[in-house]
Amino acid sequence: MGRVARQKKLKTIDPFCPQKRKDTVQKIQEERHKGRVKQHDLPYKEEDEYKIPLMWRLTQLAMQNDGKSKAQIKRENEKHEKEYQERRKKEREEFNGKKSKKDKALALIEDIGSSKKQQNFKKLKIDAQIRKEDAELKSLLKEKERLEKMLQK
């Protein structure tokens, strides 16, 4: 059997080559420890196992999230998740034909509240109608008095 020649490692100057990036970041970190380089001078921000240029990453995030901050996105996701869970719970209850005591009590309160609202609305509607008729009567009385004064002259 013959000897197998070892292959040399190819050196690349590609800035997106992981080894090249690693070396660059290590050099900068060493210089930073010496006090020559500040934190904001680092060209890359780590994300998982890849190191992507910060500006490119920020523009990518902005495009994905329509310019919303991470906190806003997190709140929206939590809200959507909560709504989804409530919807699923109601669907399960309807499918199983069961309702919890809390849901029954809430439904009863809503029914009572809606009937009270309807009664209040009817009262307000009647009051408005009475006020309107009173205003018409007053205007008719004024017109009658004006006409009587004209007849007396």
pTM over 0.85: no
The helix or strand, by DSSP H or E, that contains position 54, with its residue range, turns out to be helix 54-65
Q: What mean pLDDT value characterizes the chain?
A: 73
Task: Give the residue with greater pLDDT, 110 vs 138.
Answer: 138
Domain span at residue 76 reads: 68-98
Look at the chain and report how many structural domains it folds into: 3
Residue 52 bridge partners (DSSP) = 45
Task: Give the residue with greater pLDDT, 136 vs 35.
Answer: 136
pLDDT in tens, 72-116: 888 888 998 999 988 888 888 777 776 667 777 777 777 777 777
Task: Give the residue with greater pLDDT, 44 vs 116.
Answer: 116
Residues 117 and 74 in one domain: no
Residues 58 and 75 in one domain: no
Buried b / exposed e over 73-111, threshold 16 CB at 10 Å, is: eeeeeeeeeeeeeeeeeeeeeeeeeeeeeeeeeeeeeee
Residues 60 and 82 in one domain: no
Distance CA(84)–CA(91), nearest Å, equals 10
pLDDT in tens, 14-28: 555 656 566 676 776
Flag whether 114 is in a domain.
yes
Please, are residues 21 and 44 in contact by the beta-carbon 8 Å criterion? Answer: yes
Residues 90 and 129 in one domain: no
Judged by average pLDDT, the poorest of 8-12, 53-57, 66-70, 85-89 is 8-12
First vs last Cα of the chain: how many Å apart?
A: 142
Residues 16 and 63 in one domain: yes
Buried b / exposed e over 37-48, threshold 16 CB at 10 Å, is: eeeeebebeeee
Judged by average pLDDT, the poorest of 8-17, 48-57, 115-124 is 8-17
Distance CA(61)–CA(63), nearest Å, equals 5
Please, are residues 89 and 98 in contact by the beta-carbon 8 Å criterion? Answer: no
Flag whether 7 is in a domain.
no
